[in-house]
Structure 1
């Protein structure tokens, strides 16, 4: 069943206008007719089953038939803090992090970051990143589209969290393997889990120490050194295993 994300809260009747991606796909691509059914969600955890009642060149009217109760979100809200990375790997990360259940993705310049966007570039990047997240949320049948934005290091230090992890390759080299598992095991449904990942060159000792002082626990992600865009996905997959599959 096709699923569409809507920007506005869903009412009993949904109006799709010609400028909306859902209209373009449902009407122009799938060539929907009166009676065509699809699922719609509003990013606020409301998911409904709807049927096309009226259709035209400029709008389609969808009647909500019923609400759908699905539990597909991770039991904890996971914020990923990452450094901007090269080329289209940021978009790939946004797409895959959405599929794996992230609630928020913050792009934060760090001391060894190799990518720096100006304000115009940031606006374009954000548009592309959000589009990737919307598409991935629809494809993976999520109920929420992750929040994606730019932030600074000071904001990361001040983030409210119940558990905080900073992935650090030096921990892995020293054989540390308990932090991620320990933090997952004490996590309770509805809590906030924040995970910080450095750029290609890694985090500096100063950054690690500052994050520790702010309540983040350094931890390794296994014996192999992961790319900047791979480590966040490893963490999401591990959390899913520990919080969903093993429960």
Structure 2
């Protein structure tokens, strides 16, 4: 059953106007008829099955048939801070990070960032938001991740209960436990921020400043990962701890 995200609170009966993307997909893409059902999620993460009971050029009427109780979001909110990368690899990263449960994606320039989108940033952000929306629908999440562009100082000041910086030198030095230790120390509802360097890596000075801002260095194993792969490795590892171990 297809899932749609709404920008307003779900009511027992509601009209979705024709100028909304949900109407476009229901009527023009899927050619949905009266009597068809779909899942709908509102900003408060209320999830329902709704039935299309009326259809017109002005909008569709949806009536709630059933409330669903699903727990699919990661118990800890994860903010991923990354640098833009070349070509369409950021598109791929956003899609997969959404599927893996990221809560917020912050895109920022770092000392060795080689990509500069300049005036294209608003267009890129709109594209990334659409990719995240589609991925959240496909993976049946209850939230579409937030995607923002920030300068580096603002990125380091992102809200967090704990922070990590993925640093390959930690792995070379044999450190293996920080990611798991941090994951197990966080409580449900808290926020973890993880920063990942650009394609050229982080400088020693950047790592030192990150330490002052509350980001602990953490290795991601012995292999060197691409800039867009490292966040996915971390999200998958966190999901293993939080989703697949004994219930928290």
Q: TM-score range by the shorter chain?
A: over 0.9
Provide the TM-score with structure 2 as the length reference: 0.96
Secondary structure class of the residue paired with 1:63: strand
Q: CA deviation at 1:172?
A: 1.3
For 1:209 and 1:44, locate their aligned partners in 2 and report how far apart those are by CA, in whole Å: 39
Pick which of 155-164 and 139-148 moved more.
Answer: 155-164
Counterpart for residue 103 of structure 1:
103
For 1:157 and 1:127, locate their aligned partners in 2 and report how far apart those are by CA, in whole Å: 23
Secondary structure class of the residue paired with 1:113: coil
- Tell me if 1:40 matches 2:77: no
Distance change (3 Å), C-alpha of 1:72 and 1:195: same
Q: Summarize deviations over 1:196-220 as a string: whole Å, max 9, x none.
A: 0000000111110001011111011
Counterpart for residue 90 of structure 1:
90
For 1:154 and 1:18, locate their aligned partners in 2 and report how far apart those are by CA, in whole Å: 41
Structure 1 stretches (4+) deviating beyond 4 angstroms? none
Secondary structure class of the residue paired with 2:66: strand
For 1:25 and 1:49, locate their aligned partners in 2 and report how far apart those are by CA, in whole Å: 17
Q: Summarize deviations over 1:26-72 as a string: whole Å, max 9, x none.
A: 11222211111100112431111100110022311111122211100
Pick which of 121-130 and 160-169 moved more.
Answer: 160-169
Structure 1 unaligned runs (5+)?
none
Counterpart for residue 184 of structure 2:
185
Q: CA deviation at 1:177?
A: 0.6
Secondary structure class of the residue paired with 2:96: helix
Q: CA deviation at 1:134?
A: 0.4
Counterpart for residue 12 of structure 1:
12
